Amino acid sequence: MAAPRPPLPTRAVLRAPRWLANGNPAQHLRNAGLHNRPVPGAADSHEVQTEESYLRRRRPGLIDVEHLAGPTVPVPRLERLLDAQQTADMDYDIGADAVAEVAALQEKAQHSDRLVDGIVVWQAATLCAPAEQLPELTAGVREGLLALRTAGRPEEQVMHSVGVHLVRRSPQLIHRTKLFLLLLQHDHDPRLRDGDLVALQKALDGGEAVFAASQDLYQGVLVPGEVYLAPLLGALSPAVWAFSAHRTLGIIVYTLGQPLQGNSGNAAELLQTLPQQGASPDPARERARIPTLGTAPSSVDPISVGGSGRVGGVEQCL
């Protein structure tokens, strides 16, 4: 009879540099939703536990989804995108180059009868649009998808159940992700390990990317959404059932209501002559799984803390 498995650990030891968060690493840990206390006799070391594990009755809620429009929403609530932007940690300026690229994509789509060209335009426009234009833009994208008709059959609607959804990442999840990216950089940069703040400031003033693991402390916020949502979006591959646009307020997902063939159907490469077989889950069921994604970063797994019970940047970023 096999021996029972030991319970998963709920705590780990993390070494937070004292210069973190302007000299207040404990505050950064709290912002990440990590209950922490100093480890006696160990400089800069903290015993950490996720708040949802510490409080036990709190659901993780690190990733949530709002259904803004679609067959399950009697009255569209696309204005919720404005509320989400107001509570987001930051906004960003896309820049003139991105605007010009969207215009070029629109020009290409006007002379194309391929669905992919239109979807690429809608995706890019959703990514680049000013926040105040998002409700009107997303409504227009949904109407455009609903207006699609089968070639040669103008009376036959291609998509009947187009939906718009917002996948929101909590600030705690973003802080946790950035914390471990920073620890990874700290482990491999002698200046960060030595805490030479003068040298770091000179490097920053000179335009050097000191925090190369994520460009800087306030970039790379798309990582949590990409990691947990991408497998769902690709669940029906090579068919496509949704497409998304990543913004700081969250990830805007357009669901098509049915899977569409994601390739031309004819073999364009030799590998496509091999038989392909895979699971075909229900898209509605896949959408229902999104709220459960937030439970993944809420546990302390032995793989992620190593045999010593210490949190390391490499393990957390794998």
- At 110, phi and psi to the nearest 5? -65, -25
H-state helical runs in the chain: 20-23, 25-31, 51-55, 80-87, 96-110, 115-128, 134-146, 171-188, 190-194, 197-205, 223-233, 283-288, 302-305, 313-317
Output the pTM of the full model.
Answer: 0.69
Task: In whole angstroms, give the CA distance from residue 240 to residue 16.
Answer: 42
pLDDT per residue as tens digits for the range 251-277: 999 999 888 887 766 656 666 666 655
CA nearest to 15, candidates 318, 317, 308 = 308
pLDDT digits (tens, 9 = 90+) for 165-223: 999 888 888 788 888 777 887 777 777 777 776 777 777 677 666 655 444 444 444 55
Give the separation between CA 193 and CA 191, rounded to whole angstroms: 5
Average pLDDT, the chain: 75
The pLDDT value given to residue 281:
47
Tell me the average pLDDT across 78-83. Answer: 92
Domain boundaries, the chain: 12-59
